Amino acid sequence: MNPTDPPSPSQPQPPSPRAGGPRRDALADRTGYDEAFLGPVVPLALPARTSVETVVLPYTHFTVVFRPDRRLAASAAVCIEGRRLIEDAARDDLWELDPRLPEERQAGFDLYRNNGLERAQLVRRQDPVWGTVAEAGQAHTDTFFSPNAVPRASHHAPSPADELVQGRRLWQGLETYLMDHVAAFDRRLCVLTGPVLQDSDPPYRGVQVPLRFWKVVAFMQDGALAATAYVLDQSPDLGRDAERALAGAKAGAPPPLGPFRAYQVPVSDVAEITELEFGPLPDVDLLPPMRAPEDRWRRLESFDDIAMQG
């Protein structure tokens, strides 16, 4: 048969996972986040909250804990093997709905159409891309399923020194910075992340848009478990934006969102604002205790501001 001829009926071809959406069984072999990734002595469970319904969705090297009532993830957890990262893995940046969930329970493509919101990944595309070439390519593709996306402000600042750009770069580069500061012979991280889901989050197109995001990073340091935690805040200045918010709500516009502000915070504070369980991580936090409550959240202007010694 000529290579350009279509396949004959007697030679059935496997359906493409990208043709008309992935098949429901296309994700059946995913094993997800490994709780014992940092060692069997210090297993780290998925951040959990038993008072609300969630669906656990395993992918390649990461898992999303999804909240159908919010149409967004409650948390995500990824294993990063720094020594085996593959930088030139095959790229496939096409966003897909997860076939394991009803379409109407997912925040689909309409949420991001013709507005100032961007579809931001909870698990960065480069974080789970390690292992064999096939594993790495599959992991990259898996980060583009919609449960791994959250709505964030799409700021286009005019200057690299602008605080909008600084906050974004700090947040996006946290894993890379921390991996470079973990012992060279190890370079393993478990990154737990998600939006802060509150009842007061502003609604837009059937989805309540979160105003803050959190990240807890766990690793081994000097033979012991260690952790640091961070919050990215895009809350608007209510005094400045109240009138714009009211006008936007009447016009069906997305809620006004403020500049990205990044903080290093106590792991226990992340547990409090999310109502999630983080196992042993609050007790191994490297952020020194602050005497004054107003100093508990350390504003990050650069990576040099991150505390790495408990």
Residue 221: give its domain's CATH number. 3.40.570.10
The reply to whether 217 falls in a domain is yes
Domain count for the chain: 1
- The reply to whether 57 falls in a domain is yes
Position 153 in a domain: yes
Residue 8 inside a domain? The answer is no
Q: Which amino acid is at 307?
A: A
Residue 261's nearest CA partner among 155, 150, 127 is 155
- Measured CA distances, 57 to 26, 62, 127 (Å): 13, 9, 17
* Residue 27 placed within a domain: no
Return the bridge partners of 75, or none: 65
Give the separation between CA 166 and CA 54, rounded to whole angstroms.
34
Domain annotation covers residue 72 = yes
Decide if 46 contacts 63 (C-beta within 8 A): yes
Q: Given this model, what pLDDT does residue 87 score?
A: 80
What pLDDT score does 182 carry? 75
Cα separation of 164 and 168, whole Å? 6
- Residue 257 inside a domain? The answer is yes
Which residues span the domain enclosing 147? 35-305
pLDDT of the chain along its 310 residues, tens only? 333 333 333 333 333 334 344 555 589 999 999 999 999 888 999 998 888 999 999 999 999 999 999 999 999 999 999 888 888 766 677 899 999 999 999 998 889 988 888 899 999 999 999 999 999 999 999 999 999 999 987 754 443 445 555 777 888 888 888 888 777 767 899 999 999 999 999 999 999 999 999 999 999 988 899 999 999 998 875 444 444 444 444 456 666 666 778 999 999 999 999 999 999 999 999 998 776 666 789 889 888 899 887 5
Asked whether 158 and 222 are in contact (CB, 8 A), the reply is no
Q: Check if the beta carbon of residue 212 is closer than 8 Å to that of residue 94.
A: no
Cβ atoms of 171 and 150 within 8 Å: the answer is no
Residue 90, pLDDT score: 66
106 burial level (CB within 10 Å; 0-12, 13-18, 19+):
buried
Residue 146 lies inside a defined structural domain of this protein: yes
Q: What is the pLDDT of residue 200?
A: 92
Strand partners, 27: none
| pLDDT at residue 1 in the model | 38
